[in-house]
Amino acid sequence: MRLAASLLLATAALATQSANAADSRLGDSYKFAQSGWTYVHLAGTPEQIGFQHGSLLAREIEDNVHVYAVEAPVLTKRDWAFYRETARTMLWPHIEPEYQAELQGIADGLKSQGSKLDVWDVVALNAQEDLATYYVPWLDKKEKVADPPKLAAPSHCSAFIATGSATKDGKIVIAHSNWSSYAEGERWHYVFDIVPKHGEHFFMDGSAGIITSQDDFGVNAAGLMITETTLPTTVGFDPDGIPEFERSRKAMQYATSIDEYAAIMRKGNNGGYQNSWMIGDRKTGEIAYLELGLKHTPLTKKTDGYFVSSNFAADPALIRDDTPTFDPTDNRKSSVARHARAEDLVQQHYGEIDTTFAQQYLSDHYDATSKRVGGSLRTLCGHMEMSSESDPPFDSFGAVSGKVMDSDMAAKLTFIARAGHPCGEDFHAAPFFAAHPEFAWQKPILNDMIAGPWTSFHAGEKSPGTVVGAMER
């Protein structure tokens, strides 16, 4: 009896030690919900940050993977197994050990919560922007796929950055709205406060399971203020390059100057998720515009003025070689119309730009082509579900969040954000499906997208009742 009791006690002790060891990896991580966002604090080594991420957000990551797994065969004619295998064989060898460790940590955190997802699901999730509209079209062409899906670099996002005489106080103001499918975007409402063992403390928006912002709005402790919008109709992909999701995460974490940021994004450029990057350095007041194509990557810097961005290619050589079908004069296109409206708004308010103006900019519903007010595919606050001209018509796609920040806020790792349409309008799935039954395939993944209030978030923030080291149960 004593031996059996001793064995039971030893077994219980081992189980307790194992549970404590798992708990210790959670460190001081935590999450809480506020104004339609989920705030997530992570800290430590790559393995610890990954484990905390996977453990705290296990159910949310499973849900996120489900969205892309449903979308993949419909939009790209490639199933989730294809993306998993691509993650394993093509991407993984080009991911440096630090981020391999973090991605594996996410998978370990998921496993600790009983999830069946593994590291290849995690990598495939992170790489969706690299793969779905960059690698797959390249591969379809290489393999001479008959009747391939119509895939092109999407027109994601509206943004600007301004400094000097353009702004109310002479300091930097930056703003960005994420455009995506509403199924993806309704789940792209996370605020990540990350304190890595190496590199800079950084603060960004993001999506569950992804190690970078992915719509790329954030700030780091070195004073860099960062955002981007997608370059339109880009071509080309280098399967031997470094995934964009790794380069954008590394730049956010390690860059301390505009030139360092550009160098990290250029090195190993695989042509995935080609963007126009806007970078500000609050320490100097300098702002920059990096058009990161595959063949051309021009960088323009200034200490006075502004850059607007709306999926609009500007550099002539880049247009010729990286976005060959883009016509910067075709005002029927969303990117061209939004570019015109953005220029007009910034010029009207030149010298008065602040975060209040930035919120109004992202909420704007004026169509510069039709000269009418009302959300559409050509308004800075995009509403493709209202437009017969979107492709496909009335697509459930558009602006899904807004974020704004100025230099003073950046110094405190703070920004203001709104979940849902920046204008404050809600999207309801049931009437959308009733009016557009052709999108019924989205029913398993498309939910209501309710706009929250503009809300300030800051690094180190805790809500009442936040439990440090809280695990999913």
Q: Return averaged pLDDT per consecutive 10 residues of the chain, 473 residues in all.
A: 40 38 83 97 98 98 98 96 98 98 98 98 97 95 90 82 98 97 97 98 98 97 98 94 98 98 98 96 98 98 98 96 95 96 98 98 97 96 94 95 98 98 98 98 98 97 69 39
What pLDDT does residue 23 have? 73
Please state the domain extents for the chain. 158-182+214-248+255-458
Burial of 16 (0-12, 13-18, 19+ CB in 10 A): exposed
Q: Whose CA is closest to 125, among 44, 40, 214, 253?
A: 214
CATH topology of domain 158-182+214-248+255-458: Penicillin V Acylase; Chain A (3.60.60)
Pair of tokens at residue 145: 């796929």
What pLDDT does residue 6 have? 42
What pLDDT does residue 22 have? 52
What pLDDT does residue 4 have? 42
**Euclidean distance between CA atoms 30 and 52, whole angstroms:** 8
What pLDDT does residue 147 have? 86
Is 175 in a helix, a strand, or coil?
A: strand
What pLDDT does residue 465 have? 63
Query: Sign of the CA dihedral 327, 344, 229, 379?
Result: negative
Residues 65/86, Cβ–Cβ less than 8 Å: no
Q: How far apart are the first and last CA of the chain?
A: 35
What pLDDT does residue 391 have? 87
What pLDDT does residue 15 have? 37
